[in-house]
Amino acid sequence: MVAGRLVYCRPAAKDWDVLPVFADYPAICAIVLGIKLSSGGTLATIFGRKHDISLITPMTKLAILEYPDPRLRKTAKPIDVVDDGVRQLAGDLLETMYAAKGIGLAATQVDVHRRVLVLDVSDERNQPLVFINPEIVSASGRGPGEEGCLSVPDIYEKVQRATHIRVRALGTCGQAFEMDAEGLLAVCIQHEMDHLEGKLFVDYLSELKRQLIRRRLEKERKQRGDSRAGSGVAIPGAPASGVAMPRTSRPAL
Ligand SMILES: [Zn+2]
C-alpha cells in the first residue's frame, strides 16, 4: 500500500473527509467502512468520531447461494445512485465475505442482483475494496490461475484469465475511479465480474467436470445434513451458518 491521502465518506453523511492515510486507490474510500466490519469495531473506535456511531446500521451476514442454484445465473442491474442502501449492501457483502473467509464476493452470490462486488486479497484481511458498476477498460496477458468460489465450496480448478487489467468503477462515495490490477487481484476482479453476468468459474471447465462437481457438492451437502441437499439452493435470509464455508485454507471468491 502506498502512502497517500484517503478520501473517506461517512456511510450516511453527505460531506466527505480527507484523511492522511494509506491509499493509492480511490476505491479505498471503502476501507474505513471495511476495517470497521472486519474488526467488529466502529469508525468511531478507529478515528475517535463518536458522532459517526449513530450513522452506522449494523451489518448483516447474508446467505451465500450455492452452485447450481439458478439464481446465480441472473444478470445484475447497474446501480443508478450510490446511496445509503448501496453502502449498506457493500457493508453486508464485506461482512459476509469475511465471515466466510473468502477474498471476494459479488452481490449476485447473496441473491441481490445489483452490480456491486467486494474484495480483500490482503494477508492481513484489512484492505477491503468495493467496486460499484465495474467495467474492464483494458486487459492484457493471459495465464492460468487456480480459483475457488464461495458458491462452489471446496472446488479449486485452473482458469485462464487476463493477467493485467484496468478497471473502472464507482466507489462507496459514488466517485468514479480507475485502477490497474494484476496477479491475484486481477483474477479476483474478473471472477467477481463474471458473477454479475451470471457466470461461474466452473463454466470455463468441461461439461464432464461440471457434472462431477455438481455430484460432489450434492453428496457433501447430504453428508453435512444440509436440508437444502438436492436443491443446491441456499435459503435467503438464512443464518450465517448456512453459508458456504471453505474447509481448506485456499481462498475462495
Ligand atoms: Zn465466486
Cα 109 to ligand 1 centroid, rounded to whole Å: 7
C-alpha cell of 56? 452506522
Cα 223 to ligand 1 centroid, rounded to whole Å: 23
CB atoms < 10 A from the CB of 31, how many? 24
Distance separating alpha carbons of residues 213 and 175, to the nearest angstrom: 40
Q: What is the DSSP letter of 91?
A: H
Residue written as grid cell 452481490: 107
Contacts of 22 (CB under 8 A, 6+ apart): 1, 2, 3, 4, 6, 28
For residue 223, what is the domain's CATH number?
3.90.45.10
Q: What is the DSSP letter of 252?
A: -
Is the N-terminal amide bond of 236 cis, ω within 30° of 0?
Answer: no
Cα 200 to ligand 1 centroid, rounded to whole Å: 6
Per annotation, catalytic residue among 66, 95, 147, 192: 192
- Write the single-letter amino acid at 151: S
192 catalytic per annotation: yes
Is residue 41 in a domain? yes
pLDDT of 157 reads 95
Residue written as grid cell 441472473: 74
Give me the phi and psi of 149, to 5 degrees please: -150, 135
Distance separating alpha carbons of residues 233 and 78, to the nearest angstrom: 25
Is residue 199 in a domain? yes
What range does the domain containing 40 cover?
A: 6-63+73-230
Cα 192 to ligand 1 centroid, rounded to whole Å: 6
CB 139 within 8 A of CB 193: no
pLDDT of 253 reads 83
pLDDT of 249 reads 59
Is residue 112 in a domain? yes
Cα 105 to ligand 1 centroid, rounded to whole Å: 7
Cα 42 to ligand 1 centroid, rounded to whole Å: 28
pTM for the full model?
Answer: 0.74
Tell me how long the chain is.
Answer: 253
Distance separating alpha carbons of residues 57 and 226, to the nearest angstrom: 31
pLDDT tens per residue across all 253 residues of the chain: 333 333 334 433 333 333 333 333 333 343 334 344 443 433 322 333 332 333 456 788 999 999 999 999 999 999 999 999 999 999 999 999 999 999 999 999 999 999 999 999 999 999 999 999 999 999 999 999 999 999 999 999 999 999 999 999 999 999 999 999 999 999 999 999 999 999 999 999 999 999 999 999 999 989 888 655 333 333 333 333 223 334 445 778 8
Give me the phi and psi of 139, to 5 degrees please: -145, 145
Nearest to 251 by CA among 178, 199, 202, 187: 187
Distance separating alpha carbons of residues 207 and 129, to the nearest angstrom: 33
Q: How many domains does the chain have?
A: 1
Cα 165 to ligand 1 centroid, rounded to whole Å: 18
pLDDT of 60 reads 86
